[in-house]
Amino acid sequence: MIAAVARRLRRRLALTLLALCLPLVCLAATIADLGEIDGRTRDASLDIFTSIRPFAGDEELARAMVFVDIDEASLARFGQWPWPRQYMAVLMQNIGLSEPLAIGVDILMSEDDRFNADAIERLAGFEAGSLAGQIPDGDALLGEMLSYTPSVVAVSLTPAESANEPYLPASVSVIGDSLLPVMEASGLLSPVPKVAQAPGAGFVSLAFERDSIVRKIPMVARYGDQLIPSLSAEMLRVAQGAGGHILKQAADTGSGANLMRTGQVTMTLDAYGRLPIYHGTIDRFTTVSAAEVLDETGLERLTNAFVIIGSSATGLKDTHSTNLEAAIPGPMIHLSAIHQLLSGVNLKTSVLYSFGELLGAVVIAMTIGLLAAHAPIGIGLTALAAGVAATAFGGFWMFTSLMYLSNAILAAGIVLFCGATSLVMRGIVDELARRQLRNAFGQYLSPQMVKTIETSGAAPELGGVTTDISVMFMDVRGFTTLSESLAASPQVLTRLINIILDEASEVIMAHEGTLDKFIGDCVMAFWNAPLAQSDHHDRAVAAAIALQQHVPAINARLAEEIGDAWDGGGIAIGVGVASGTVVVGNFGSRTRLSYSVVGDTVNLAARLEPFSKQTGLPLTFASATAQGASSHSLLKIDEITVRGRANAEPIYSWQPLSPEAHTAHDGLLEGILAATAVRRRKLLQTALEKLAAMDGYPQGLADYYRRRIEAL
């Protein structure tokens, strides 16, 4: 058994190496981030998780996220954009009177109000200063309103140098070296000085990804040599009255994640200083038209709320796609970030967790690969399905329960790819082995036996094996005379022989025998090799009986297919079967091998086959075969001396008899075998005549016994 296991391991060595090495190659490719595979699959995982379970968060808190929308209705009523700054001042005043927690102005105001006195004088050609006392200074009014409210104005990162002085009321302090590869720019679009009076200012620039879907929002960016906060971070700071932001990088947190603290709110950022957004539908937030605010309608909705002023109007082009919705106003992105953070949800990412997740996938993939290499295919397929499902579900559970930004697609993909590849290669190896087995055994084994060998997964022993078998010889009676009569028609003779051998082979293979060889009109077959058959005695006897019963069908086919070309009538057969120990394996020369058996049992079977000529019974079985064939009632017909054997060999045949005839036959045979004097002859002859007169007793056997009695 140990040797068989060793042989199997050698045959499966390549599959074993594939199972162990392929997952490691996938791990190396992921670590190297070939083709941005990690980022792409992680984004796809987040998309799937979000679509399955969108973020809801605290419902009451969601209603306190208010979007003041300069929508199409507001533009239709108060004119096209940009509005005069005094409109914006009134808008800020009304919002401020509602006592919100923070007001974000997601509108860049880096240029002077185009409706101020100077601009109108230049446009109308009036004398400079002529309108100074008649038209209010909108920028100054708006700046004053901003200074009185918990407001945050928008700034934008730009590669160009800004005309206005950078306005940054708060900064981001860094613990450790400031090496985080955050979004950066050399310029900053800031509000005009009169407007730059708000308690806070944050950038509104978004880091657009490869597919233009917003999955992460930058919370910190680099301008020049300093780090600056985002609009949403500043709104959280202003709402809490905090002094600034503190960034603690992954190398210093001990958790493998970047952390930024704003007042009492701590947010987990990715390697690029971005907050992964767990999107929900924006209908959970409150939307108020700017026209309603200007009309002082429904202002109670703004109390104790986080308010962002922006626009959903198509012409202002401030819409973005998320992994849940095709187009939402930009301010909703900032509200989503605030709502998520205040709901206590931080999607955690870290190098340590990512590596652990991938390492777990690699271990699962290796296990499935080893099962694919050495276990039955069904177990390998089940393990593959279970492994992929467990990896995917595990990633989803980590996301929804522990808020880890799992890369379930990559982890499950590694398991699926490696496991499927191992199973495919196992299938190829098995198919090659099956072809080899079919080539080796298909000529002399039944398709069912070849299939059994294939299913076993182990090639049978082919050389030098000593085993107990049952061997059969079947011969056509009177074949010499038959061949002489057809000497002038060799094609007819060939066709006749082929039909007989074909029919006999079908019967033998139907009883799962192994066809050894054809010797002219003779067929040699055996049982219990190459596959073990504990009932090989019964199988051999059953095949011999079936051959005898199949002779009429053979004769019918000969008559149908050969017809008038042969008028010799039907054929008869003789069968000899013996059981015993032989050597089975490949025998032959260096250039030609044959799978066969050799031994005294083979010689015995060959010598029993012609005995049917004497008894007239087609079937002759050796004693060991008859004793092993427990399911058949065989008739002992004599004990004969076989050349090469010192003791007489009891021989049997199959002949259904009535119980009375069977008893009489046994008595007669016992008398013949025990007779030692001529005076017993007459008693035996009398018993034989009574037996021969019974219905169903074969005439040929009766004639044989007459000759035996005469010889006493």
pLDDT in tens, 494-529: 888 999 999 999 999 999 998 888 888 899 999 998
What pLDDT is attached to residue 212? 83
What pLDDT is attached to residue 34? 79
Instruction: Report phi then psi at 242, rounded to 5.
Output: -80, 160
The pLDDT confidence band at residue 7, using thresholds 50, 70 and 90, is low
35-83 pLDDT, tens digit per residue, is 788 888 888 999 999 999 999 888 899 999 999 999 999 999 998 888 8
Q: Show me where the domains of the chain are located.
A: 2-48+349-440, 57-342, 462-656
Strands 306-310 and 286-289: unpaired
> What does the angle CA 449 – CA 452 – CA 454 come to, to the nearest 5 degrees?
115
Contact in structure between 253 and 247 (CB atoms under 8 Å):
no
What pLDDT is attached to residue 32? 83
The pLDDT confidence band at residue 595, using thresholds 50, 70 and 90, is confident
What pLDDT is attached to residue 439? 63
What pLDDT is attached to residue 15? 84
Is the predicted pLDDT of residue 675 greater than 70, yes or no?
Answer: no
The pLDDT confidence band at residue 591, using thresholds 50, 70 and 90, is low
What pLDDT is attached to residue 129? 58
What is the pTM for the complete model shown? 0.64
> Residues with Cβ < 8 Å from 268, sequence gap 6 or more?
257, 258, 259, 275, 346, 347, 348, 349
Look-up of token digits 């054997």? 645
What pLDDT is attached to residue 54? 93
Is the predicted pLDDT of residue 157 greater than 70, yes or no?
Answer: yes
Beta bridge partners of 586: 595
The pLDDT confidence band at residue 560, using thresholds 50, 70 and 90, is confident
The pLDDT confidence band at residue 351, using thresholds 50, 70 and 90, is confident
Higher pLDDT, 702 or 563: 702
Higher pLDDT, 286 or 481: 286
Lookup: tokens for 299: 């202002």
Mean pLDDT over all residues of the chain? 86
Q: Averaged over 591-620, what is the pLDDT?
A: 88
357-414 pLDDT, tens digit per residue, is 889 999 999 999 898 888 888 898 999 999 999 999 999 999 888 888 888 999 999 9
What pLDDT is attached to residue 171? 87
The DSSP output letter for 695 is T
650-669 pLDDT, tens digit per residue, is 999 999 999 899 999 999 89
Is the predicted pLDDT of residue 547 greater than 80, yes or no?
Answer: yes
> Residues with Cβ < 8 Å from 470, sequence gap 6 or more?
526, 527, 528, 536, 537, 539, 540, 577, 578, 579, 625, 628
> Residues with Cβ < 8 Å from 559, sequence gap 6 or more?
none
Q: CA–CA distance from 674 to each of 670, 680, 709 (Å)?
A: 6, 10, 11
What pLDDT is attached to residue 29? 87
Is the predicted pLDDT of residue 442 greater than 70, yes or no?
Answer: no
Is the predicted pLDDT of residue 487 greater than 80, yes or no?
Answer: no
What pLDDT is attached to residue 113? 81
Strands 245-248 and 258-262: antiparallel
Percent of the chain topping pLDDT 90 = 47
The pLDDT confidence band at residue 436, using thresholds 50, 70 and 90, is low
> Residues with Cβ < 8 Å from 246, sequence gap 6 or more?
172, 173, 174, 175, 260, 261
Instruction: Report phi then psi at 295, rounded to 5.
Output: -90, 5
Higher pLDDT, 11 or 355: 355
Q: If we measure between CA atoms, which residue out of 553, 606, 572, 578 comes closest to residue 700?
A: 572
Is the predicted pLDDT of residue 2 greater than 60, yes or no?
Answer: no
What pLDDT is attached to residue 30? 84
What pLDDT is attached to residue 590? 63
> Residues with Cβ < 8 Å from 295, sequence gap 6 or more?
none
Is the predicted pLDDT of residue 618 greater than 70, yes or no?
Answer: yes
The pLDDT confidence band at residue 585, using thresholds 50, 70 and 90, is confident
What pLDDT is attached to residue 453? 60
| Chain centroid to CA 35 | 23
> What does the angle CA 157 – CA 231 – CA 105 come to, to the nearest 5 degrees?
100
Higher pLDDT, 202 or 34: 202
Q: Averaged over 175-199, what is the pLDDT?
A: 86
What pLDDT is attached to residue 160? 81
Is the predicted pLDDT of residue 622 greater than 90, yes or no?
Answer: yes
| Homologous superfamily, domain 462-656 | Nucleotide cyclase, GGDEF domain (3.30.70.1230)
Distance (Å, rounded) from C-alpha 66 to C-alpha 197? 23
Contact in structure between 188 and 158 (CB atoms under 8 Å):
yes
> Residues with Cβ < 8 Å from 423, sequence gap 6 or more?
372, 377, 380, 381, 384
Is the predicted pLDDT of residue 418 greater than 70, yes or no?
Answer: yes
What pLDDT is attached to residue 448? 59
- Name the strand (E) or helix (H) holding 175: strand 172-175
